[in-house]
Amino acid sequence: MQCAQTISVVITTYNRPDALEAVMRACFMQDDKRFEIIIADDGSTANTRARVERLATGAPVPVRHVWQPDQGFRAAMARNRGILAATGEYIVFLDGDCIPQRDFIARHRALSQPGHLVSGSRILLSEALTRRVLEQEIDLATVPATARLAWRARGDMNKVLQLFLRWPDIGRTSKRFRWRRIKSCNLAVWRSDLERVNGFDESFVGWGYEDSDLVLRLFHAGVRRKDGAFATEVFHLWHREAQRDQASSNRGVVLEREAAGTTWAIQGLREHKPST
């Protein structure tokens, strides 16, 4: 099986530089450092740019910062810009509040397979634990097992077994599309497959379902989904729920596209490229 050789990690962020720093530092400490980082910034203030520039100085992997004006929730556009700035053949999407474990890149590389995407897994942290992690700069990858179990017992983590077990790449491929657990906060896709469907669809308005839409269109284009659980878990820092005014209408669009077998994004990667 052919695994990805060149990997780009596209990290989406918006005005949360402390969380972004924790994510970037965890990326710098990966066991496998054969990758690059693209910060896909959805309009953060200068504080984020300054933080990224400081962290990029002397970083063990290449770091680039792609910024767009703040005109509301435009994560799809930010990710598309990140894809276009990336040089890797395999794109791992990560949110700026999702801290990877040390073997995150190695596991994603091992699970990469032509004709497949990998939907990663996450472990949710409580508000209180998130505050401690950021204020005390706790390295979650080195926290003892006893502390992790205590956090789970107190409800500061929603699961813990995934931190102790690693499943091989067996029985991970799904033959049909499912809505459950589709999150672009931890998602790996071949660049060629993203180009086949024109990337994320920027015509989605407001929060919600632009990631489900991407995976659905990829499925219609023949790309199969692999489950990254018990291999690719990230620590998802707590945050307030996003405004979901458009969520129901966005879901309706995805349902329509599911019935129609849609593959191509209305407003995607190609629209960013200058016409010849």
Q: What is the DSSP letter of 142?
A: G
Q: Write phi, then psi, for 65 (nearest 5 degrees).
A: -120, 115
Q: Is residue 126, in this structure, part of any structural domain at all?
A: yes
Which tens digit of pLDDT belongs to each residue from 116-150?
Answer: 999 999 999 999 999 999 999 999 999 999 999 99
Domain count, the chain: 1
Q: Is residue 2, in this structure, part of any structural domain at all?
A: no
- pLDDT for res 276: 43
Q: Is residue 128, in this structure, part of any structural domain at all?
A: yes
Q: Looking at 68-82, 227-241, 262-276, which range is the least confident one?
A: 262-276
With a cut of 80, say whether residue 213 has pLDDT above it: yes
Instruction: Report CA-CA distances (Å) from 128 to 132, 151, 238.
Output: 6, 11, 9
Residues 155 and 148: their CA atoms lie apart, in Å, by 11
Instruction: Report CA-CA distances (Å) from 188 to 72, 122, 129, 134, 225.
Output: 25, 14, 27, 26, 10
What's the CATH number where 253 sits?
Answer: 3.90.550.10
Residues 144 and 163: their CA atoms lie apart, in Å, by 11
Determine contact, residues 7/109, Cβ cutoff 8 Å.
yes
Residues 20 and 18: their CA atoms lie apart, in Å, by 5
Amino acid at 26: A
Which tens digit of pLDDT belongs to each residue from 17-55?
Answer: 999 999 999 999 999 999 999 999 999 999 999 999 999
Share of the chain above pLDDT 70, in %: 95
Average pLDDT value over all residues in the chain: 93
Show the tokens assigned to 12.
Answer: 């989406």
Determine how β-strand 7-13 pairs with β-strand 116-119: unpaired
Q: Is residue 102, in this structure, part of any structural domain at all?
A: yes
Q: How crowded is the C-beta side of 196, counted as CA atoms within 13 Å?
A: 18
* pTM (predicted TM-score): 0.95
Q: How crowded is the C-beta side of 193, counted as CA atoms within 13 Å?
A: 25
Residues 89 and 36: their CA atoms lie apart, in Å, by 11
Q: Looking at 195-199, 201-205, 243-247, 255-259, which range is the least confident one?
A: 243-247
With a cut of 80, say whether residue 224 has pLDDT above it: yes
Residues 153 and 130: their CA atoms lie apart, in Å, by 16
Determine contact, residues 10/79, Cβ cutoff 8 Å.
yes
Residues 138 and 125: their CA atoms lie apart, in Å, by 13
Q: Is residue 87, in this structure, part of any structural domain at all?
A: yes
- pLDDT for res 181: 64
Which tens digit of pLDDT belongs to each residue from 73-119?
Answer: 999 999 999 999 999 999 999 999 999 999 999 999 999 999 999 99
Residues contacting 206, CB < 8 A, separation 6+ = 72, 73, 243, 244, 245, 246, 247, 250
The residue that leads in pLDDT, 92 or 209, is 92
Domain hosting 214: range is: 7-272
Residues 55 and 44: their CA atoms lie apart, in Å, by 16
Q: Is residue 1, in this structure, part of any structural domain at all?
A: no
